[in-house]
Amino acid sequence: MIEHLLTLLVVIPFLGLLPLAAFLRNPGAVKQVAVVTTFVELVVSLVMLSRFRVGEAGFQLRESAAWLPSLGIRYELAVDGLSVLLVVLTTLLTFISVLYSTKVIKERIGEYMAAFLVLEVGMVGVFMALDLFLFYVFFELMLVPMYLIIGIWGGPRRVYATLKFVLFTLAGSLLMLVGIVAVYLASGDAGSRTLSLPELVAARGRFSAEFQFWVFLAFALAFAIKMPMFPFHTWLPDAHVEAPTAGSIILAGILLKAGGYGFLRFGLPLFPYGTQAWLPVLIVLSIVAILYGAIVSTVQKDLKKLVAYSSVAHMGFVTLGTFVLNTQGAVGAVLQMVSHGVVTGALFLFVGIQYEKTHRRLIADLGGLANRWPLFTTFFGVFVLASLGLPGLNGFVGEFLVLVGTFRFNPPTGLGGLTWGPLAAIGVILAAIYLLWMFQRVMMGTLRDAYRSLPDLSPLEVVCAAPLLVLTVVMGVFPQPFIAIVEPSLQRIVALATDTTLAVIK
Amino acid sequence: MSDLVSVLPEIVVTLTALLVLVADTLVDRRRSAHVLAVLTVAGLVIALFSGPFAIAPGTHFSGFVLVDTFTTFFRAVFILLAVFATLVAPGYLDRKGVAPGEYYATICFSTVGAMTIALSTDLITLFVGIELMTIPIYVLAGMQRSDRYSNEAALKYFLLGAFSSALLLYGFVWLYGFSGATELSKIAKALASGGLTSGPAIIALTLVTVGLGFKAAVVPFHQWTPDAYDGAPTPATAFMSVAPKAAAFAAILRVLVTGLGPLGLDWTIVLAILAAVTMTGGNVVALAQSNVKRMLAYSSIAHTGYILAAVAAYRAGDSAGAAVLFYVLAYGLMNLGAFACLLYLDVEGTRGATLDELNGFAKREPGGALAFAIFLISLTGIPPTIGFVAKVLVIQPVLDAGLVWLAVVIALNAVVAAFYYLRVVVRLYMYDAEAGTPTLVPARLLSFTLGLSALAVVVIGVLPDGIYAWALQAAAPLTLR
């Protein structure tokens, strides 16, 4: 059993579906099954983390078996420094989402929990799959449950939002599918073709520069839409505003990471020439996302939309750190993904808790909540400060490393880090403006009479938020253990992407 | 004797049809729909298992019949589709007062025709097979005699079907005149020495392509499809949307790939353009439909386009033929399933299913809704379903043959298709039933059959290797020469 930890992570949520189906019409039992399943999954992922050997760059806990032998496609799972933290983040956020949902979801809870379990399979699978075909299957497996979660349990405009979400994502991923098949055909002669990442990296000399240009574009479109990068972000605010709280947590916390992860896992190592060719465009788009996301956040009236747009800005840091192509930037990008998952997940959780109590989400309708809710204010305040990148909290670590990497970015032609660095830094300042201003308008000032009798955080809500708070502080104060996990693998990926000795066929 | 053994499954299916017709007069009217269905399925299953005994190498009936891996694959597919079309029908037939014996026997006769196409090596056997398959389908379309839409469907289908058969036959005549033979292998040799430079070859090829294009519903020869599918009784629609199309592709592979193979290089671009136009046309028109039956009719045209894309890519070798076979099987399972899901709704006073009638389906019939959603997701091409694997398998030879633009067209079309397929899922799960929504028909046999095929859609979607290996084997005879 212990040798197949990663398969276990894929299988546990599926196994949870069986008792869930048996008790489908019994809400109490359904909640217990879902909470227990996601908790076991979390524990197993922690066991997996404890067996992860820090300091090694390569893939660990690897499992490999023939899946489609006629095509040479394999069932191949592994983790490395890039993915291991994201897997644990996934299981943690899913557990918290399910736990919180037991209180707020009243309707069709059986189907709701089933969707979450299937979603969890897709999410952990995406971060562990080494075979591109398997990766694609998991990538798409995340789509349908989220489509249902937004579409069934979402807000008034849920159908529009969920269709938009699915169509945007599918448009990108289907082009990536064509790219994957193209990679498969180019990976060898008939009979020896493969989609396994290590073998593809070894065979990447067969990908001509022109081939890389187009196939990287196909992959980049899928990941850019998923992230989402400017100008493909328009589905995000709609999806977030309409999604139920737990859906927003998972969407912002995990699903967006699949894009940034895809760039680092597949885009950079497989297509160094494609990366070089598209690098200027992607860096400019990252800077635009950082500034645009921040400016648009400033003027939002809806609390949830504000957090959603702030995600666009934060994900801009991830792509910026990725495409400056140095270790600091890449490590910063990964840490930024992890801390954004924790912090923005928490922010959506608190916006949801707040909404459950007041039934208002417009900033103008709120105010003075700090007078009545000391506990809520403390938690929320810490997460807001972490989100704006205050040193000592986790948001700072990723953004700082990305900025260091950006300043060190020095391409032979075109604008370098001294142009992009200051622009990105402006984004950090803007983040402080919109987040603090929001906090001030929501929490300070005079309290409305209608909100006087509303209770502070319930024990369940504290239990949901506490692990995130601990992580926020620990990652901010002691970032070194996390950097140590991430760094070797990212060094390797950056080395693969910047290998000047790589010769490709014409 | 070995001649007869080689067509054992065909004989069994024919006997089943005759037996059903006889039994129809003996069985109690009130229970006949179910009893005869069991009888039909039993006969079909025997036919399926007689397949392995019918393997006899070489040609039979003086070169008119060839039983190879290709034949075996299609036999299994056709019998499987006939079984599903039988199992979903009884409740509907009772409700609408359609004579069950006639329905099952007609399905069997049409299946024999389709199977004949798969074993033909000769233009004559091929044409007999095509007619034997199509004529029962005209009858099926018009079986609901008192319903004027059913009559319209049958008449339209018959007129255009006869027209296309004539075109096809005329094309065959040109091939005969050109080569002096009716065997496909001899025609191929004659064509190989002559090349595409000669006028008669081009005329023959054009006529055959158009004729088979009609049968498979390739744009611009598709106009009969929506009305015929919409008007026909729903179980018949489910069958006629899959079996004739599968058979048409069996014929296309036999004639265009085996017979005209030597000219393939010049014909690829024609097929590729037809494929692109077909999938785009089908999808764009499907977007505008508010009746789900019509929407599925147009979407089935789009699927023809995807399959045709794999045909166009047959320069890539076995993988192209295997992609066609796999897609045909996948399409058969999921499309038949999707049409059959409408049977829950088909009650007195409604016609087919408008999107509004589907509102809140998931609350009223959770199992049926889940199966419907699985079929729709599979038709969209989202993993882990058979439809996804089928799409990947089509894209592979298309790229391999250098038709990158066609692969991109397929991907973009899948997004368009996602819009209208998922819109149905929205109605199933995200709307509540309104006051006027008709009640659903409880149908245990239907739910069981749909559950089974939905399970197959997912299981083959996760573990497709066995079927794909079989399809590769079945496609091998096409590209040997």
Tell me which chain A residues have a C-beta less than 8 angstroms from the C-beta of B414: 170, 174
Q: Is the pLDDT of residue A147 over 70?
A: yes
Q: Is the dihedral of CA A42, A47, A50, A52 positive or negative?
A: negative
**pLDDT mean across residues, chain B:** 88
DSSP A60: E
Q: Is the pLDDT of residue A1 over 60?
A: no
Q: Once rounded to an integer, what is the mean pLDDT over residues B443-466?
A: 91
Q: Which helix (H) or strand (E) holds A179?
A: helix A158-186
Residue B388 in contact with partner chain A when CB distance is under 8 A: yes
Residue A177 in contact with partner chain B when CB distance is under 8 A: yes
Q: Cβ contact (<8 Å) for B399 and A137?
A: no
Question: Residue B481 — very low, low, confident or very high, per pLDDT cuts 50/70/90?
Answer: very low
Specify the pLDDT at position B264.
52
Residue type for position B218: V
CA distance B6 to chain A (A): 29
Q: Is the pLDDT of residue B261 over 80?
A: no
Q: Once rounded to an integer, what is the mean pLDDT over residues A407-433?
A: 87
- Listing DSSP states for A10-40 in one string gives HHHHHHHHHHHHHTTT-HHHHHHHHHHHHHH
Q: Cβ contact (<8 Å) for B418 and A166?
A: yes
CA distance B462 to chain A (A): 9
Residue A163 in contact with partner chain B when CB distance is under 8 A: yes
Q: Once rounded to an integer, what is the mean pLDDT over residues A498-506?
A: 78
Q: Find the CB nearest A144 among B377, B392, B415.
A: B377
Read off the tokens for B275.
């494929």
Q: What value of ipTM does the predicted structure carry?
A: 0.91
Tell me which chain B residues have a C-beta less than 8 angstroms from the C-beta of A137: 383-384, 388
* Rounded Cα–Cα distance for residues B372 and B283 (Å): 19
Q: Once rounded to an integer, what is the mean pLDDT over residues A346-361?
A: 90
Q: Please check whether residue B174 is in contact with residue B204, taking contact to mean a CB–CB distance below 8 angstroms.
A: yes
CA B400 to centroid of chain Cα atoms: 26
Interface with A, mutate which of B365, B375, B415, B463 (most A CBs under 10 A): B415
CA-atom Rg of chain B in angstroms: 21
A393-402 pLDDT, tens digit each? 998 999 999 9
CA A53 to centroid of chain Cα atoms: 23
Residue pointed to by tokens 């179910």: B34
Question: Residue A484 — very low, low, confident or very high, per pLDDT cuts 50/70/90?
Answer: very high
Specify the pLDDT at position A164.
92
DSSP A503: -
Q: Cβ contact (<8 Å) for B418 and A181?
A: no
Percent of chain B whose predicted confidence (pLDDT) is above 70 = 94
- A320 contacts: CB under 8 Å, gap ≥ 6: A283, A286, A287, A290, A329, A333, A402, A406, A420, A424
A20-58 pLDDT, tens digit each? 888 888 888 999 999 999 999 999 999 999 999 998 888
Range scoring the smallest mean pLDDT among A352-361, A420-429, B256-265, B417-426:
B256-265
Q: Once rounded to an integer, what is the mean pLDDT over residues B286-308?
A: 92
Q: Once rounded to an integer, what is the mean pLDDT over residues A189-214?
A: 89
Q: Cβ contact (<8 Å) for B411 and A181?
A: no
Q: Once rounded to an integer, what is the mean pLDDT over residues A406-417?
A: 84
Q: So where are chain B's domains?
A: 2-479
Q: Which of A310-324, B43-57, B220-234 has the highest mean pLDDT?
A: A310-324
B163-176 pLDDT, tens digit each? 999 999 999 999 88
* Rounded Cα–Cα distance for residues A310 and A290 (Å): 9
Interface with B, mutate which of A20, A68, A195 (most B CBs under 10 A): A68
Specify the pLDDT at position A93.
94
Tally the C-alpha atoms within 13 A of residue B366's C-alpha that lie toward its C-beta. Answer: 7
Question: Residue B259 — very low, low, confident or very high, per pLDDT cuts 50/70/90?
Answer: low
Q: Once rounded to an integer, what is the mean pLDDT over residues B124-131?
A: 93
Q: Cα separations (Å) of A442 from A298, A349, A361, A363, B140?
A: 14, 15, 10, 6, 67
Specify the pLDDT at position A488.
93
CA distance A68 to chain B (A): 5
In this structure, how many other beta carbons lie within 10 angstroms of the beta carbon of residue A477?
Answer: 13
Nearest Cα to Cα of residue A197 among A276, A109, A136: A136
Q: Please check whether residue B247 is in contact with residue B315, taking contact to mean a CB–CB distance below 8 angstroms.
A: no
A234-282 pLDDT, tens digit each? 999 999 999 999 999 999 999 999 999 999 999 999 999 999 999 999 9
Specify the pLDDT at position A282.
93
Read off the tokens for A198.
């290590």
Read off the tokens for A401.
């490393």
Residue B432 in contact with partner chain A when CB distance is under 8 A: no
Q: Cβ contact (<8 Å) for B468 and A68?
A: yes
A149-180 pLDDT, tens digit each? 998 898 888 889 999 999 999 999 999 999 99
Specify the pLDDT at position B350.
63
Q: Please check whether residue B407 is in contact with residue A175, taking contact to mean a CB–CB distance below 8 angstroms.
A: no
Q: Cα separations (Å) of B458 from A71, B373, B386, B470?
A: 19, 12, 6, 18
pTM for the structure as a whole: 0.93
